[in-house]
Every structure is written in C-alpha cells, then in structure tokens.
Amino acid sequence: MAAEVLFVDDNKLILQASVDLFKAQGIELLTAGDAAEALELFREHEIAVVVSDNRMPGMSGLDFLSELRQLSPDTVKVLISSYVDLATALAAINNSEVFRYLLKPWKEQEILDVVREGLRRYRTVQAMRREDEAVLRSLAQTIELKDPSTKGHCDRVAVYALLIADAMGLSKDTLRQIKYGSWLHDCGKIGISEVILNGSGRLNDDEFETMKLHTDWGADLAEKARLSELAKNIIRHHHEKYDGTGYPLGLKGEEIPLEARIVSVADIYDALTMDRSYRKRYPLAEAREMVRSMSGAALDPGIVEVFLQVVPQGPLPSSEEVLGDAPLAHPDPKRIDLNLVRALA
C-alpha cells in the first residue's frame, strides 16, 4: 500500500481547493472534515503526511496531532492556523512533534513544498529503519544528488573515519556504526533547498542559519528510524568544534561524542579536497596541513594526530577493505524504493 497524504479541515472549499492543487502535481489527497473522521482514515491507510487545521469542531488540530504520536508516530505532521499564536506553535513543536507550523492563508507553492519535504522525510525514515547496507548507501548517495559537488563525499568520509577508528582500536561493531553514521551524516540536507546547497557563493547569515538546521533534522530522522545512538551522535554533532564554537549545541572537547569527533576530522578533510562553487579543491598535502592547523581549535588534537598517521595521500581503500568485509554489492533495484530515490532526487 502506497503511503498517502491527508488534509484535515472543516472548510469543504479549502479541502476541494487542496485536492485540485495537488492533483495537478500528480499527488492524490485523502481528506477529512474533522479529527474523528481523520482518525478513522489512519486505521485504514498508511499516512505519510497529514496537514491539519487547528481550529475545528470537536478535537482541535493540536490535540489531534498529539494523539497521532501514539497512533502513527512516523507520520509527518503539519499544523495550520489562522493567526500567529506562539503558545500554540511551541506546543505543536514540543508536544505533537509537528514538522511545520503554517499560517492561513497559505501560499500554494509553500504548501506544495512542505508536503513534498514531508514525503521525502517519511520515505527516508522507512528506508533508514531497514538498516540494510545497500539501502543506506544508496540513500546517502541519493541525498548527494541534491548537491552535485558532494558526489562520493559520504563514501570517502566513511573510509577516512574508519581508518582513524580502526587505528584507535575501536570495536568492529563500533566501526560498523561509524560507517552508517558517516554515510548518513548529511541526511538532514533533504530539508534544505537546492538554492542554498548549490549557491554560487558563500552563504549569507540567514542561509547559514538554515543550513545549520540539517544536523538536528538529520538526527530526528535517525531517531525515528531507530538507528543506533552512535550513528545519531555522528549525524547531530559532526559540526561541533573542539573549542566549543560549533553547532548545534556548542559542545566542547570531550563533551562531543568520540565518534562525532572522528567523523568531523574526516568530513573537514574531504570537504577541503573537493571543488566547491566558491573555490577550487586544495591539493592533498595542503589539505592535510590545514587539518593539522585546526588541531585544538575545530578538531580534537589526538584524533588529528591519528588521522595524519593513517590516512593515505594516494588511492583510498574501500570501507569493506577497512572492516575486512566482503565487498558490498551494488544495490538490487528490486530492494530499493524507487519512489524514495525519485523524491529525494
């Protein structure tokens, strides 16, 4: 059964206008006139995204979405209100796990974009939950399609991180989770506009604040997908800095999980060796020295030392070679959700 999109509103004209708008985009909607009718639909359908008005007869939209936390926790929830209400917005985020809070009258492009983002988020969670290596790797590579300049980044970060972690004597199970976290460290970028990801220059302040959200968005996806705590730590904290000036929490030193400190070194090194829209890649030797210069500031000094000893200046091994695994086969198309690939692309 394909996952569906549900709109809940007591205004029939709004529901019909929504149906017409989304049908023109190839998306069929389910509709309900109140929360009670919507809850019945949840018992019969797999709902990926629900968009609910707040002020309705009977149960409010906020209470309805709160109830869905138990009934359908993976459903992406969008709350719509006719007026700005900070208390309601905070309750929606904190108590109902609302993905977006929009004001009426919403703009057509705005609601289309939000629902598409919600569908991508839902399908991502379902793919991640299977923790199938071929699916996780395919998912990471598909996310990279949003930003062509990062092609191969997730694979290389995983190899650099595994070389470091292996030299530090971490367990095979820990290395495997570091691989998954490295592959998916930027999965929150599915919620970032391509305009920001593919801009021709450095980000302005507002764009950077939006970009910073990808760590929390990604960690939330990992939480819903029930990935390991170690993988979640990598996704949430790979932009923390050793001196405490990073994000999202400004953690310092060993407050930052070890696995995130490892991947941070790998991530920065690989970024330096890639062409970006606003600069050319640095030669490998120069990039290594730049990583060395960040020791004690952005990066953990001990991990930098290990990195400098083990990361080759020539061709990289594969992650399977580092772990001693059999080579990972190319994903079987029959096992990959092609709708997921199309949506993320």
Nearest Cα to 236, choosing from 200, 273, 261, 207?
Answer: 261
Long-range contact pairs involving 133-136 (C-beta distance under 8 Å, separation at least 24): 133/328, 134/328, 134/329, 134/330, 134/331, 134/332, 134/335, 134/336, 135/331, 135/335, 135/336, 136/180, 136/183, 136/184
* CA atoms within 13 Å, Cβ hemisphere of 240: 26
In the 8-state DSSP scheme, what is residue 78?
E
β-partners of residue 7 are: 31, 51
Nearest Cα to 153, choosing from 127, 194, 124, 187?
Answer: 187
Catalytic residue among 146, 179, 189, 241: 189
Give yes or no: 189 in active site. Answer: yes
Rounded Cα distance between 1 and 22, Å, is: 20
* Residue 238 exposed, middle or buried by CB count within 10 Å (0-12, 13-18, 19+): buried
Rounded Cα distance between 331 and 134, Å, is: 5
Q: In this structure, which amino acid lies at residue 62?
A: L
In the 8-state DSSP scheme, what is residue 2?
-
Rounded Cα distance between 253 and 261, Å, is: 9
Rounded Cα distance between 17 and 14, Å, is: 5
Active-site residue list = 189
